[in-house]
Amino acid sequence: MSKVVTNKIKKSITELVGRTPLLELVNYEKGNQLEAEIIGKLEYLNPANSVKDRIAKAMIEDAESRGLLNNGETIIETTSGNTGIGLAAIAAAKGYKLRIYMQDGVSEERTKVIRAYGTEVIPFSDVPEVVEAIEKTEGDFVEVINVFKKAVVEKEENVVFLNQLDNEANPNIHRETTGPEIWEDTEGHVDILVATVGTGGTISGAGGYLKSKNPNIKVVGVEPGIASIATLDNPEIEEITGVHRFSDVGEERVPENVNKDVIDEIIEVETSEAYETARAVAKSDGILVGTSSGAAIWAATQLAKRPENKGKRIVAILPDTGLRYLSTDLFE
């Protein structure tokens, strides 16, 4: 039998990244008596189950295009989990060596999934300089990465540090894919975009694109509330993994990829509120999402309750799957 050629059969998981669907949370809206639409962009339907699959593919392919991965170099990256998982999947598909330096205290599923792809995982606690920086700055992740560069990257040859905090491929891929997907799938009928802020790539890229199509679209950034930030005095506080404050910190502590000019409003969400919302949508609409998604939906809900937003369409980017949190208290 001759081989039948069809473009419907993919040859790599890299071809499966993006084109995630939009879903209106109809039952959740009814249950909360909302008069605005809340539309979730289901990023957990990417092949490695998070929005970070987009930047993983983009950053590796950008490094390829610049000739940085021709001689057996090892890719290295720091992460709280999802970027590491996305990179592990893409690196496996492309045949690259990868080493992930992981923030301590994240859910155990993250480390297990990364290792399942054959990637080496090193906790931050194994790098004394990084531990010292975390203690000194109470976890300022921008400064921690600066210390990491000196302690690890500059001391080792044949490594390529992708650095999602200031890698332009991060916001660019959201400008090229996430934003256009939202615009096309809503046929341009979108009033508000809601996204949590970590590295800033998602909100800056997707928000920037949507504003280029319609300057009246409002872009809302979500950050954790003060009570949800772990400190040296209270290290056991449950945080919203991967989401960081940026509104009231010095510019040196804000990632390069956070474009504040794109963001019209900032909403604070406490971890307990994010938990409650993630649990609610699992039961109301059958979507199992993580803490950052719960935070985005909670913020969208507050916007939907405002009289001026009656009848409007709010798109909330839901970054990852709730399956990454089964070892935590999220669904207890």
Question: Of 55-69, 95-109, 306-320, which range is least confident?
Answer: 95-109
Q: In what order do the strands lie in the sheet with 159-161?
A: 120-123, 97-102, 74-79, 159-161
Delineate the domains of the chain, giving CATH numbers in brackets.
Answer: 13-45+174-325 (3.40.50.1100), 52-161 (3.40.50.1100)
Q: How many CB atoms lie within 10 A of CB 94?
A: 17
Catalytic residues: 52, 292
| pLDDT band for position 105 (cuts 50, 70, 90) | confident
| pLDDT higher than threshold 80 for residue 232 | no
Q: How much is the pLDDT for 103?
A: 87
Q: What is the DSSP string of 38-95?
A: EEEEEGGGSTTSBTHHHHHHHHHHHHHHTT-SSS-PEEEEEESSHHHHHHHHHHHHHT
Rounded to a whole number, what is the largest CA-CA distance in the chain? Answer: 69
Q: What is the pLDDT of residue 6?
A: 77
Nearest 10 degrees: Cα torsion 40, 195, 278, 287: 30
What is the percent of the chain with per-residue pLDDT over 70, rounded to a whole number?
A: 98
Quote the mean pLDDT of the chain.
Answer: 95
Q: Which pLDDT score, from 0 to 100, does residue 292 have?
A: 97
Residue 5 has pLDDT above 80, yes or no: no
Mean pLDDT of the 306-324 span: 98
- CB atoms under 10 Å from CB of 113, counted, come to 22
pLDDT tens digits, 138-168:
778 899 999 999 999 999 999 999 999 999 9
Query: What's the whole-model pTM score?
Result: 0.95
pLDDT given for residue 120 in this prediction? 96
Alpha carbon of residue 302 to chain centroid: 21
Q: Which neighbouring-strand residues pair with 97?
A: 74
Helix (H, G, I), strand (E, B) or coil at 98: strand
pLDDT (0 to 100) of residue 3: 67
| Cα–Cα dist 138/203, whole Å | 25
Number of H helices, E strands in the chain: 11, 10
The alpha carbon of residue 203 and the mean position of all alpha carbons in its chain are separated, in whole angstroms, by 10
Rounded CA separation 84/86 (Å): 5
Instruction: Map tokens 């392919």 to a residue.
Output: 61
Task: Check if the beta carbon of residue 194 is closer than 8 Å to that of residue 203.
Answer: no
Cβ-proximal residues to 332 (8 Å cutoff; 6+ apart), any chain: none
pLDDT in tens, 250-259: 899 999 999 9
pLDDT at 22: 98
Spell 295-330 as b/e; 16+ CB within 10 A means b: bbbbbbbebbeeeebeebbbbbbbbbbbebbeebeb
- State pLDDT tens for residues 260-279: 999 999 999 999 999 999 99
d(CA 327, CA 108): 7
Q: Mean pLDDT throughout 96-107?
A: 92
Tell me, what's the pLDDT at 63? Answer: 98
Provide the pLDDT confidence category of residue 332 given band limits of 50, 70 and 90: confident
Name the DSSP letter for residue 238. Answer: P
The reported pLDDT for the residue numbered 2 is 58
Residue 174 pLDDT more than 70? yes
Confidence tier at 286 by pLDDT (50, 70, 90): very high
Question: What value does the mean pLDDT take over residues 320-324?
Answer: 96
Give pLDDT, residue 159.
Answer: 97
**DSSP letters spanning 142-178:** HHHHHHHHHHTGGG-SSEEE--TTT-THHHHHIIIII
| Percent above pLDDT 90 for the chain | 86
Output phi, psi for 218, to 5 deg. Answer: -95, 135
CB 112 within 8 A of CB 136: no
Mean pLDDT of 283-292: 98
